[in-house]
C-alpha cells in the first residue's frame, strides 16, 4: 500500500512563500505521475503541478512562474515551492501519485493566505 504524507502547510501573508513536502513510501520515479492538487472551499479539486510519465512538468496556468515542483529521491519526497502567494491560493493541497490506473492521495495540508 502506497503512503503519501504531506507537510508544510500553514498561514502565509500575500506575497509570501511556503514549501510543501510529500514523502512517499517508495521511489517517486516508480509512479507514472506524481504531483499536487488543491481544493478551495466550494470548488472542485484542481491540478496544481505534476511530474508526468513523459518526464515533463506541468503547471496550472494560475501558478506558472510562481510555483515550482521538485523532488529529492534520496528521501522519496516531492516538493512544491510556492512563491508570491495570493489569497486565491488558499486551499487544501493534496499530494497525488498515480500508478498506471490507480490514484493514491495524501490526507491534505491546509494553506491559508491572508491579504
Over the chain (115 residues), the average pLDDT of each successive run of 10 is: 95 98 95 96 97 92 98 94 98 96 96 97
Distances from the Cα of 8 to the Cαs of 31, 50, 91, in angstroms?
A: 22, 18, 13
Rg (CA), the chain: 13
Per-residue pLDDT, 17: 98
Per-residue pLDDT, 65: 98
Beta bridge partner(s), residue 97: 34, 104
Which of 114, 105, 107, 77 lies closest to 92, judged by CA?
Answer: 107
Amino acid at each position: 500500500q502506497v503512503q503519501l504524507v504531506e507537510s508544510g502547510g500553514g498561514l502565509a501573508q500575500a506575497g509570501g512563500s511556503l514549501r510543501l513536502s510529500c514523502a512517499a513510501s517508495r521511489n517517486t520515479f516508480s509512479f507514472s505521475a506524481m504531483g499536487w492538487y488543491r481544493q478551495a472551499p466550494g470548488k472542485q479539486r484542481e491540478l496544481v503541478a505534476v511530474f508526468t510519465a513523459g518526464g515533463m512538468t506541468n503547471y496550472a496556468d494560475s501558478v506558472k512562474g510562481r510555483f515550482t515542483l521538485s523532488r529529492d529521491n534520496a528521501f522519496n519526497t516531492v516538493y512544491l515551492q510556492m512563491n508570491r502567494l495570493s489569497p486565491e491560493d488558499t486551499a487544501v493541497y493534496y499530494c497525488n501519485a498515480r500508478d498506471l490506473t490507480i490514484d493514491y492521495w495524501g490526507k491534505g495540508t491546509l494553506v491559508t493566505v491572508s491579504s
